[in-house]
Amino acid sequence: MPHADIRALAFDIFGTVVDWYGSIAAEVARAGLAADGGRFALDWRAGYQPAMQQVRSGALPWTNIDGLHRRILDDILGARGLALPEADVAALNRVWHRLDPWPDSAAGLARLKQRFVLATLSNGNLSLLVDLARHGGLPFDCVLSAELFNHYKPNPEVYLGAARLLDLAPGQVMMVAAHPSDLRAAARCGLRTAYVRRPLEKGPGGVPEPFTAGEFDITAEDFADLAQQLGCRAGPDNQESPP
Amino acid sequence: MPHADIRALAFDIFGTVVDWYGSIAAEVARAGLAADGGRFALDWRAGYQPAMQQVRSGALPWTNIDGLHRRILDDILGARGLALPEADVAALNRVWHRLDPWPDSAAGLARLKQRFVLATLSNGNLSLLVDLARHGGLPFDCVLSAELFNHYKPNPEVYLGAARLLDLAPGQVMMVAAHPSDLRAAARCGLRTAYVRRPLEKGPGGVPEPFTAGEFDITAEDFADLAQQLGCRAGPDNQESPP
């Protein structure tokens, strides 16, 4: 059996399991905002790394992703001269709690769950991840978040903390992500790595982060391919129904 | 709709969702140990509160439940003059990871999940709770554990920490337990409370902890009754299959 030592899979979420670009673009269009939805999504996401860096550097005290998303959103609305009632801004900020999964995510997770413990391992806060799992019918066994460790990926505390909570050695945990930088940080902590291609993560014109062939333990086209490569048979569809 | 303000249910696990007495008694019998299985289970569980108290008092550094269960098990085996190989003791200690749910647990949770976020809130460590959920096909949305807070129930950090991670006010969370002491501690933190009768928790002759009628927001006969009282319709059976 391939990778027989792996006991748990830890999933990056934004872009790897759910389609933030498409979901946000659609919501901005529905909201009738005078903005290009795709551009709006890209700008929002572009503020994400700098905002987390402010937390890492200590310039900001610990602030969860809901809080960081709101700070970025306020900047974007301000820069575009869009004035919305507070309730509308708060509701828009919650779009990150109802992002749609990629078409293969729920079924692929259900198949992987037959053999592995499935955990989220995201910078998203716990309540956001719970909402995403319920929204998309994603059958995770547990929700692990940077919030539990007061550190954001790619800080090692997050990867090592996940292995500790799962009561596994780092080498028994495989990080699954569409982002080479996330996987490289996981590998430095001793985790195994699976890269999943998500060519549309940043929209039709987006360019994925480059990586070297053979750099990760697995390179997969989607979650069905990942399951195949990990030796999970395509069994009866046991995915949860969305509530 | 009754209790319309409740958004999440937090479940005690040992005795409330799973049957530790019956599961351990059966395992001790299967293992061929020269001991009464039911008595063995009761002795093991009886060591639990004193062991946690040693952590609370600082006499022991933070030790998770797997570690505390093992200390108690070693004492029980020693007191009975039972010498087992280390591998067998380690395997026996893991019985707490494969306790069977009460017959109504999985279906009741599936029904409650249609309306509420479902979290564990147990003194069991996270990996133990993940194993129990997988073993019993228990469709929790997230696994919250005392281990995340480095405090054991009934310390307030656990109840308040759960509400914080769920991004809810304490009054939007209902603690569900078969133990009045757990519910009273939750209520002191502002959580709502549901008592569920588990008359066989301590075996056929066991006496449940007493409480006063009307002391809790809900008193239920089992999870189906709890779902009924919380206004969850008996829908199609959408529980997960055990892996």
Q: What CATH code is carried by the domain that includes residue B175?
A: 3.40.50.1000
Q: How far is A34 from chain B (nearest CA, A)?
A: 31
Chain A residue with minimum CA distance to B113: A243
Whether residue B32 sits in one domain with residue B15 = no
Strands A117-122 and A142-145: parallel
Residue range A210-216: mean pLDDT, rounded: 96
Average pLDDT over residues B130-147: 98
- Among B113, B126, B165, the residue with its CB nearest the CB of A127 is B165
| pLDDT of the residue at A240 | 40
What pLDDT, on a 0 to 100 scale, did the predictor assign at position A122? Answer: 98
pLDDT at B240 over 50: no
Cβ neighbours of A141 in B, within 8 Å: 130, 133-134, 143
pLDDT one-digit tens code per residue, A150-196? 999 999 999 999 999 999 999 999 999 999 999 999 999 999 999 99
A147, B165: Cβ pair inside 8 Å? yes
A118 and A63 in one domain? no
Q: Total structural domains in chain A?
A: 2
Do B35 and B58 fall into the same domain? yes
| A25 in Cβ contact with A19 (< 8 Å) | no
The count of CB pairs under 8 A between chains A and B is 62
Summarize the confidence of residues B75-82 as an average pLDDT.
93
Report the distance separating Cα B227 and Cα B235, nearest Å.
11
Which residues on chain B are in Cβ contact (under 8 Å) with A126?
142, 165-167
- Judge if A108 and A216 occupy the same domain: yes
- Tell me if chain A has a CB within 8 Å of the CB of B42: no
To probe the interface with B, which of A65, A94, A109, A141 has the most B CB atoms within 10 Å? A141
Q: Mean per-residue pLDDT for A3-7?
A: 93
Helix (H) or strand (E) segment spanning residue A8 = strand A8-11
Q: Is A122 left (phi over 0), alpha (psi -120 to 50) or beta?
A: beta
Check which CATH number belongs to the domain holding B86 and give it. Answer: 1.10.150.240
Asked whether the predicted pLDDT for residue B71 surpasses 80, the reply is yes
**Do residue B73 and residue B129 come from a single domain?**
no
Residue A219, beta-bridge partner list: A195
Whether residue B64 lies inside any domain: the answer is yes
The mean per-residue pLDDT over the stretch B1-20 comes to: 94
Q: Is A66 on the interface with B (CB under 8 A)?
A: yes
Chain A hits for B114, CB-CB cut-off 8 Å, are 243
B41 and B87 inside one domain: yes
A-chain residues within 8 Å CB-CB of B146?
none
The residue behind tokens 């999933």 is A11
- The boundaries of the domain holding residue A33 are 20-97
Kindly report, residue by residue over A71-114, the tens digit of the pLDDT.
Answer: 999 999 999 999 899 999 999 999 999 999 999 999 999 999 99
Q: Which of B97, B130, B145 is the last residue of a domain?
A: B97
**What per-residue confidence (pLDDT) applies to B34?**
74
Is A165 close to B147, i.e. CB distance below 8 A? yes
Return the bridge partners of B170, or none. none
Q: Give the C-alpha separation, A134 to A125, whole Å.
A: 15
Assigned domain for B240 exists: no
Q: Are residues A117 and A197 in the same domain?
A: yes
CB atoms under 10 Å from CB of A188, counted, come to: 12
Q: What percent of chain B has pLDDT over 70?
A: 96
| Other C-beta atoms lying within 10 Å of the C-beta of residue A156 | 16
The mean-pLDDT minimum among A132-141, A232-241, B126-135 falls in A232-241
> Locate tokens 């999985």: which residue?
B106
Kindly state the percentage of chain A with pLDDT values over 70: 96
| Residue B1 within a domain | no
Distance CA A151, CA A182 (A): 14
According to DSSP, residue A234 is labeled: -
Q: Mark which of B79, B97, B115 sits at the end of a domain.
A: B97
pTM for this one?
Answer: 0.94
pLDDT band at B238 (very low <50, low <70, confident <90, very high): very low
SS3 labels along chain B? CCCCCCCEEEECCECCCECHHHHHHHHHHHCCCCCCHHHHHHHHHHCHHHHHHHHHHCCCCCCCHHHHHHHHHHHHHHHCCCCCCHHHHHHHHHHHHCCCECCCHHHHHHHHHCCCEEEEEECCCHHHHHHHHHHHCCCCCEEEEHHHCCCCCCCHHHHHHHHHHCCCCHHHEEEEECCHHHHHHHHHCCCEEEEECCCCCCCCCCCCCCCCCCCCCEEECCHHHHHHHCCCCCCCCCCCCCC
**Residue A237 resides in a domain:** no
Same domain, B222 and B147: yes
Q: Does A142 contact B142 at a Cβ distance shorter than 8 Å?
A: yes
Within-domain flag for A241: no
Provide the 3-class DSSP secondary structure of residue A34: coil
Asked whether residue A76 falls in the same domain as residue A140, the answer is no
Is A3 inside any structural domain?
A: no
Examine the domain organization and report whether A27 and A118 are in the same domain. Answer: no
Whole-number pLDDT of residue A35? 77
* Token pair listed for A204: 């039709």
Whether residues A163 and A141 share a domain: the answer is yes
Q: How far is CA B64 from the centre of its chain?
A: 15
| Cα Rg of chain A (Å, integer) | 18
Q: B240 contacts in A (CB within 8 Å)? A: 139, 238, 240
Distance from C-alpha of A243 to C-alpha of B140, rounded to nearest angstrom? 12
How do A192-196 and A117-122 pair as beta strands?
A: unpaired
Distance of CA A30 to the CA centre of its chain: 24
- For A143, the closest chain B residue by CA position comes to B142
Q: Is the pLDDT of residue A58 over 90?
A: yes
In a domain, B238, yes or no: no
What count of other Cβ atoms lies within 10 Å of the Cβ of residue B26? 16
Task: Clarify whether residues A119 and A190 are in a common domain.
Answer: yes
Interchain CB contact of A126 with B (< 8 Å): yes
Would you tell me which residues 164-203 of chain B have a C-beta closer than 8 angstroms to some C-beta of chain A?
A: 165-168
Q: Which residue of B has its CA nearest to A116?
A: B243
pLDDT score at A48? 92
Asked whether residue A238 is domain-assigned, the answer is no
Say whether A238 and B238 touch across the interface (CB within 8 A).
no
- pLDDT score recorded for residue A1: 66
Tens digits of residue pLDDT in B165-193: 999 999 999 999 999 999 999 999 999 99
Boundary-marking domain end, from B38, B65, B97: B97
